[in-house]
Amino acid sequence: MRVSVITFPGSNCDHDAQEAFAYYGHKSRLIWHKDRDLQNPDLVVLPGGFSYGDYLRCGALARFSPIVEEVMAFAKKGGLILGICNGFQILTECGLLPGTLLRNIGLDFICQHQYIRVEDNNTAFTHQIPEGTVMDIPIAHKEGNYFCSDEILKELQDNHQIVFRYCDKQGNINAEYNPNGSRENIAGICNRTRNILGMMPHPERAATPYVTSNDGGKIFAALEEYFNLN
């Protein structure tokens, strides 16, 4: 699988993502935000960090980087895109995913291990993971509070676009285990055609045996198997 990881000014998880994919045997490369060539990838990754210092609002300036035009064209052709943390924020700014990410309900930056539950496995990113599976994947953000209108929320529910929700170790979902105030405990969503996933947790930080949890590796394994089957 060929993976292109986009680097914006302020990205700080681009190398983490590249190395995680390399660990699973994928050909990954870094693409500078001013470039206009995605280099024929199977998957594009918008990594975590603080693109353009999060000025104005998260992802608002990165949305206008030249490479994002190519990412949007890639999306329209059905190409797979994974947006992690700041990458999720950029995808909402682009309109590739609905809703927006607001400041955490406590207005604090949160950096901790977090349990999330798989709500839908009908995506390339989760197809090997049984629905209801609880995973321990770190979060690190100040603007991770997913918000959308009631109309959009109903569409997400009706179309099974909610892929991950925050939960406890047993998979219980309620406000107590919602770290940032996201609607419906939403931690990740996909688009209607299911080729674009945005998630606040960092699977690349939990992808190898050398860290506390390697639950994020399940997402990388699912992607690998998806391309093997297709």
In angstroms, rounded to a whole number, what is the distance separating the alpha carbons of residues 16 and 96? 24
Report the pLDDT value the prediction gives residue 150, as an integer from 0 to 100. Answer: 98
Report the pLDDT value the prediction gives residue 229, as an integer from 0 to 100. Answer: 76
Cβ atoms < 10 Å from Cβ of 192 = 12
Catalytic residue among 13, 26, 33, 85: 85
For residues 74 and 212, the model is more confident at 74
* Strands (DSSP E) found in 8-133: 27-32, 43-46, 80-84, 100-102, 110-118
Q: What is the pTM of this model?
A: 0.95
Confidence of residue 53 (pLDDT cuts 50, 70, 90): confident
Catalytic residue among 26, 33, 141, 202: 202
Domains of the chain: 2-229 (3.40.50.880)
Confidence of residue 227 (pLDDT cuts 50, 70, 90): confident
pLDDT in tens, 157-215: 999 999 999 999 999 999 999 999 999 999 999 999 999 999 999 999 999 888 989 99
204 labelled catalytic? yes
CA distances from 1 to 26, 174, 225 (A): 5, 37, 10
